[in-house]
A = this chain, B = another copy of it.
Amino acid sequence: MARMTTSREVQLAARPVGAPRDSDFNLVDLTLPQPAAGQIQVRNLYLTVDPYMRGRMNDAKSYAAPFALGETMTGGAVGVVTHSEDASVPVGAHVLHDQGWRTHANIDAKRVKVLPELPGVPLSAYLGVLGMPGLTAYAGLLRTAEFKPGDVVFVSGAAGAVGSAVGQIARLKGAARVIGSAGSADKVRHLIDTLRFDAAFNYKDGPVAEQLKAAAPDGIDVYFDNVGGEHLEAAIGSMRPHGRAAICGMISQYNATEPTPAPRNLVQIIGKQLTLRGFLVGPHYDLFDTFAQEVGGWIASGELKFDETVVEGIDQTPAAFMGLLQGQNTGKMIVKL
């Protein structure tokens, strides 16, 4: 008797113009065949939605191939193994893999990572602070921005999965001052009270340049950019000589239909001898073990906090993604199935 499983999956129905809408997505039920030799079948427990996925919804040459219309999207997920045709990954194991945006999947056993069960570390953390977003923060701050103890660090999107890790890693590595920006008063309070940023501001309260100057009157050395646009312009304006910016994301631009005009003060890059460097996390996986050990230690000791905004149900995955682009999350945006 063949074992038949139904997977509910989210497909891209249309390429979004500007902000994605419900009608850009389709929910479909697909029947999975029995897993082949060397494969496992997984029931997903947690899915991730991340800002970079917006770029993959465009039909543009980019660092990742675009999502295909009428096919299930992909992305990080943590699942439990329900069936195994590979001795190395037993039934019941928890695995990290890239077949997200769906409830079930058959996957080559070689392409999954079996997760350790650590006390105090929920499985969803492997999609956030101990996964790709955490490594993005770690590598971008320490390697791309060449952070040094004593630096004044500014991070935008500071309440997000990456930004909240950046600020705390900077503090734990000896930053002179850590400043964050976010999009609500609640987030700003959270950055200061819980994540122990030295200063934070709500970018909706006034010009970013003015608020940054008030928060860092002597200027900044490092800017970790998740936002782009006005934030990058303000950071360039506040940078001290030899300042470095790690450009991780420009979420303010992802839904833009026109090219953005900022930063208009880029000429300052010369006189202040600044470096702006874009990066992707992919080439930095050589740091993964060092990262996991160091950040895992700070989580265990309680020195580094992480947050999740959890949305429930496969049918809510598009809404979770759209909310992420609007900044509705504090910390990692997670879909729980």
Contacts and interface: CB of A to CB of B under 8 A. Distances in A.
Contacts of A276: 269, 275-277
A274 interface: yes
Interface stretch (A196-204, A259-267, A301-309): A259-267
A267 B253 contact: yes
Interface of A: 55, 62-63, 228, 232, 247-250, 253, 259-280, 283
A317 B50 CA distance: 58
A322 to B, nearest CB: 20
Contacts of A280: 270-271, 273
Contacts of A248: 270
Chain B CB within 10 Å — which of A249, A263, A269, A274 has the most?
A269
Chain B CB within 10 Å — which of A248, A249, A264 has the most?
A264
Question: Could you say how many copies of this chain the assembly holds?
Answer: 2
Contacts of A277: 269, 273-276
A127 to B, nearest CB: 21
A234 to B, nearest CB: 13
Given A55-B271, A63-B272, A276-B277, 4 more contacts: A247-B270, A249-B270, A250-B266, A273-B279
A247 B263 contact: no
Contacts of A232: 266
B250 A267 contact: yes
A273 B267 CA distance: 21
A294 B207 CA distance: 50
Contacts of A275: 275-278
Given A261-B264, A265-B259, A266-B228, A63 B247 contact: no
A250 B260 CA distance: 20
26 contacts: A62-B271, A63-B270, A63-B271, A228-B266, A228-B267, A232-B266, A247-B270, A250-B266, A250-B267, A250-B270, A260-B266, A261-B262, A261-B264, A263-B266, A268-B278, A269-B278, A270-B280, A272-B278, A273-B279, A274-B277, A274-B278, A275-B275, A275-B276, A275-B277, A275-B278, A276-B276
